[in-house]
């Protein structure tokens, strides 16, 4: 078995064992989960160390086994500069969740199994090089997350889980519709992504090409989510458990934007260029709408959820701009795409950390209402410090990964489409809302739930902390990451420009 298959199937196997053997005790289940996550991270590290750029439309560590030859679908996996960083980010976020959950007492064995399952399918999405394989993992992530929210959530968890399932499932079926369209349009018919990229079916057929792109865009936009397909996100986040929110925002949302760069842009370049302005507009609206609605929230977790809409909007904006063909702008478009991929990684790390930290509130006082806290920095200084770091990272302060990402996104996008500069307002609003939240919750006199609020425990510190440290590391030393992403985004931009 090759490296990638091992990375995908090890957690799935561990999940099956944990689910099938009731004799495994709570502590053993917790630690098994942590151990498997550590091994996963090490495996991804080995993968990264041995990675060499495979060139345009090439994949490293490729593996292909026939699956349903009748419809030219195979178990085809591989990584390139667009997927490797996400693979690493996924491994890190899931490890953080495993550590965070170490002291939870609610059905540890089943929970560990469920999260390992989610980890396997999430990694599967990022290595899939076949549309059907991609879809299989994509859909399974929805099923897994449904059970996370319904089984471990709070508030009206069942309702939120149902809404999440219905919405994202509808999106995934739109996606499947688009995939079938690509299959039928390609000659010879195939679901293989590199083959489809090489063939670029539907070139010269703007109507069908546009419709197929629309189906794929809707499917991915629901998952991302962008305005107006975001309405499932706030309730899902509000009622999900902390580690569920961390995985949902950190990893699952990236499946949408990753689909843009892996499938929509390279396979349908002509349609992407034709609709680039629409995509840019959706990105700008998501940025501004997400920021302003987040500003209006009194519930801390809902606020973070809406900032996700805002942050994902930057990615959509940059990818849309990459489809706008301007004179001598290949370099700028490439910068925008690089920024988008960095943002995927950065948002995964920072938002996962923020959601884990928000979960501390639920754990201590059962409330996310910012008004019912005050002066929290006094009883919980470590908590205040870590949350402040997360907030500054999220608002894009230089020195953090978010700055690198947003700087490149705007440097690239504004160069090809100056009008996108309006989205800069989003950064300002985000800064305001995070500062205001910090002020309301952590400064001033102690109020509400604050007295007796216990500071961060070890497992909380050692889960959110490393995520933020990584964001800082990327902010200070971005080269390691950028060297992997840049060749891939240049290749993608030339594919879109065909």
Partner 1 sequence: MQMRPELLLPEILVFLGALVVLLGGSFLPRRRQWIARAAAALALLGAATAAALAMAGPAQSAFSGTFTVDTATGAARVIAALTTLLVLGVASGEIAGSPRESDTYALLLLATTGVMVLAGSTDLLVLIVGFLLASIPLYGIVGLTGGRAGAEAAMKTYLMGALSGILLMAGVTVLYALAGGTDYALLQEELPAAPAAAVGAGVLGVLAGLLFKAGGVPFHFWVPDAAQGTGATAATFLTTVPKVGALVAVYRLVATVSAGDGSWLLVAALLATASMVLGNLAAYWQTDPRRLLGWSTVAQVGFLLVPVAAAGRSDLALPSLLFYLAAYALTNVAAFAVTATLPEHRELADYRGLARARPGLGLALLVALLGLVGTPPLAVFVGKLTTATAAWDGGHGWLVLVVMLSSVLSLFYYLRWFAPVFARPDQHTAGFPGRGGAAAWPAVTAGVAAVASLVLGVLAGVLWAALEGPVVM
Among 24, 28, 62, 151, binds partner 1 (CB under 8 A): 151
Residue 114 or 360: the one with the smaller Cβ distance to partner 1 is 114
- Stretch of 60-68, 331-339, 357-365, 419-427 lying at the interface with partner 1 (CB under 8 A): 60-68
- Least separation in angstroms between residue 473's CB and partner 1 is 37
- If one asks whether residue 16 binds partner 1 (CB under 8 A), the answer comes out as no
Taking alpha carbons only, the member of 258, 257, 225, 224 closest to residue 126 is 258
Q: Least distance in Å: CB of 89 to partner 1?
A: 24
Q: CA–CA separation, 104 vs 242, rounded Å?
A: 11
Q: What is the contact mask toward partner 1 in residues 242 to 261, using x (rule: CB under 8 A)?
A: --------------------
Distances (CA, A) of 93 to 115, 317, 400, 452: 11, 25, 17, 30
> Which of 9, 48, 51, 67 is the binder for partner 1 (CB under 8 A)?
67
If one asks whether residue 270 binds partner 1 (CB under 8 A), the answer comes out as no
Closest CA to 377 of 443, 460, 300, 452: 443
Binding flag, residue 184, partner 1 (CB under 8 A): yes
Q: Is the dihedral of CA 372, 442, 361, 368 positive or negative?
A: positive
For position 458 contacting partner 1 by CB under 8 A, the verdict is no
Query: Is residue 165 a contact residue for partner 1 (CB under 8 A)?
Result: yes
State the Cα–Cα distance between residues 366 and 46, nearest whole angstrom.
41
Smallest gap from residue 158 Cβ to partner 1 (A): 6
Question: What is the pattern of x (binds partner 1, CB under 8 A) and - over residues 111-150?
Answer: ---------------------x--xx--xx--x---x--x
Asked whether 431 and 75 are in contact (CB, 8 A), the reply is no
**Closer of 181 and 234 to partner 1 (Cβ):** 181
Query: Given candidates 6, 34, 162, 446, which one binds partner 1 under the rule CB under 8 A?
Result: 162
Confirm or reject binding of residue 428 to partner 1 (CB under 8 A): no
Look up residue 128 and give its DSSP letter.
Answer: B
Q: Mention every residue, 6+ apart, whose C-beta is less than 8 A from residue 394.
A: 307, 311, 350, 351, 354, 402, 430, 434
Tell me if 26 contacts partner 1 by CB under 8 A: no
User: DSSP state, 151?
Assistant: H
The token pair at 279 is: 């995509």
Q: Is residue 24 part of the contact set for partner 1 (CB under 8 A)?
A: no
Q: How far apart are CA 49 and CA 21, in angstroms?
A: 36
Phi (first) and psi of residue 191, to 5 degrees: -110, 5
**Which of residues 139 and 192 has its CB atom nearest to partner 1 in the complex?**
139
Q: Out of 52, 69, 105, 328, which residue is the one contacting partner 1 (CB under 8 A)?
A: 69
| Shortest distance, position 9 Cβ to partner 1, whole Å | 12
Nearer to partner 1, 192 or 406 (CB): 192
- Minimum distance from residue 466 beta carbon to partner 1 (Å): 33
From candidates 169, 277, 292, 407, binder to partner 1 by CB under 8 A? 169
Residue 133 has which token pair? Answer: 């394989």
End-to-end CA distance of the chain: 36
Determine the interface stretch with partner 1 among 173-181, 259-267, 380-388, 454-462 (rule: CB under 8 A): 173-181
Return the number of the residue (80 or 192) whose C-beta is nearest partner 1.
192
Q: 295: cis peptide before it, omega within 30°?
A: no
Query: Which of the ranges 159-167, 241-249, 294-302, 380-388 carries the binding residues for partner 1, by CB under 8 A?
Result: 159-167
- In the complex, the smallest distance separating the C-beta of residue 169 from partner 1, rounded to whole angstroms, is 6
Q: Which is nearer to partner 1, 17 or 431 (CB)?
A: 17
SS3 at position 64: strand
Q: Which of 176, 251, 271, 438 binds partner 1 (CB under 8 A)?
A: 176
Note whether 204 binds partner 1 by CB under 8 A. Answer: no
What b-and-e string marks burial along 257-282, b requiring 16 or more CB atoms within 10 Å of the CB?
bbbbbbbbbbbbbbbbbebbeebbbb
Q: Closest Cα partner for 117 from 19, 30, 197?
A: 19
Binding residues for partner 1, rule CB under 8 A, total: 31
Q: Which residue, 143 or 281, is less far from partner 1 as judged by CB?
A: 143
21 binds partner 1 (CB under 8 A): no
Interface with partner 1 (CB under 8 A), residue from 158, 296, 422, 469: 158
Distance CA 283, CA 212 (A): 20
| The dihedral sign for the CA sequence 10, 11, 14, 19 | negative
Provide the 8-state DSSP code for 79. Answer: E
- Phi, psi dihedrals of residue 398, rounded to the nearest 5°: -55, 145
Min CB(129)–partner 1 separation in Å? 16
Question: Does a cis peptide bond (omega within 30 degrees of 0) precede residue 141?
Answer: no
Site for partner 1, rule CB under 8 A:
22, 66-71, 132, 135-136, 139-140, 143, 147, 150-151, 158, 162, 165-166, 169-170, 173-174, 176-177, 180-181, 183-184, 189
């Amino acid at each position: 078995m090759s490296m990638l298959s091992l990375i995908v199937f090890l957690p799935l196997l561990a999940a099956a064992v944990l689910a099938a053997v009731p004799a495994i005790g709570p502590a053993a289940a917790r630690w098994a989960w942590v151990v498997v996550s550590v091994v996963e991270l090490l495996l991804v590290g080995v993968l990264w160390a041995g990675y060499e750029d495979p060139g345009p439309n090439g994949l490293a560590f490729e593996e292909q086994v026939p699956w349903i030859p009748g419809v030219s679908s195979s178990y085809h996996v591989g990584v390139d500069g667009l997927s490797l960083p996400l693979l690493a980010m996924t491994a890190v976020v899931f490890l953080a969740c495993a550590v965070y959950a170490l002291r939870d007492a609610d059905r540890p064995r089943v929970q560990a199994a469920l999260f390992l399952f989610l980890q396997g399918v999430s990694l599967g999405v990022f290595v899939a090089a076949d549309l059907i394989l991609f879809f299989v993992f994509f859909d399974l992530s929805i099923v897994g997350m449904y059970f996370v929210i319904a089984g471990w959530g709070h508030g009206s968890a069942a309702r939120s889980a149902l809404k999440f399932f219905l919405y994202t499932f509808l999106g995934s079926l739109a996606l499947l519709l688009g995939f079938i369209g690509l299959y039928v349009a390609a000659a010879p018919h195939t679901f293989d992504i590199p083959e489809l990229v090489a063939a670029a079916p539907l070139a010269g057929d703007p109507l069908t090409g546009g419709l197929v792109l629309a189906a794929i865009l809707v499917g991915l936009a629901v998952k991302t989510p962008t305005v107006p397909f975001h309405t499932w996100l706030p309730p899902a986040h509000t009622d999900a458990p902390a580690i569920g929110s961390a995985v949902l925002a950190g990893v699952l949302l990236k499946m949408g934007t990753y689909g843009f760069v892996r499938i929509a842009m390279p396979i349908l370049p002509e349609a992407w260029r034709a609709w680039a302005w629409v995509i840019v507009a959706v990105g700008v609206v998501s940025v501004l709408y997400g920021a302003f609605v987040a500003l209006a929230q009194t519930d801390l977790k809902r606020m973070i959820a809406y900032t996700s809409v805002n942050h994902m909007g930057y990615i959509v904006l940059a990818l849309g701009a990459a489809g706008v063909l301007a004179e001598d702008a290949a370099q700028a478009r490439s910068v925008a795409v690089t920024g988008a991929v960095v943002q995927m990684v950065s948002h995964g790390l920072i938002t996962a950390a923020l959601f884990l930290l928000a979960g501390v509130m639920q754990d201590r006082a059962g409330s996310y209402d910012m008004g019912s806290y005050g002066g929290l920095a006094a009883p919980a200084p470590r908590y205040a410090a870590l949350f402040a770091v997360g907030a500054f990272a999220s608002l894009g302060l230089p020195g953090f990964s978010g700055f690198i990402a947003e700087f490149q996104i705007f440097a690239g996008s504004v160069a090809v489409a100056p009008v996108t500069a309006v989205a800069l307002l989003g950064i300002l609003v985000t800064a305001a809302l995070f500062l205001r939240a910090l002020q309301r919750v952590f400064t001033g006199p102690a109020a509400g739930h604050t007295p007796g609020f216990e500071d961060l425990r070890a497992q909380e510190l050692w889960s959110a902390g490393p995520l933020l440290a990584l964001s800082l590391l990327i902010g200070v030393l971005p080269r390691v990451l950028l060297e992997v992403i840049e060749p891939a985004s240049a290749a993608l931009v030339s594919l879109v420009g065909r």
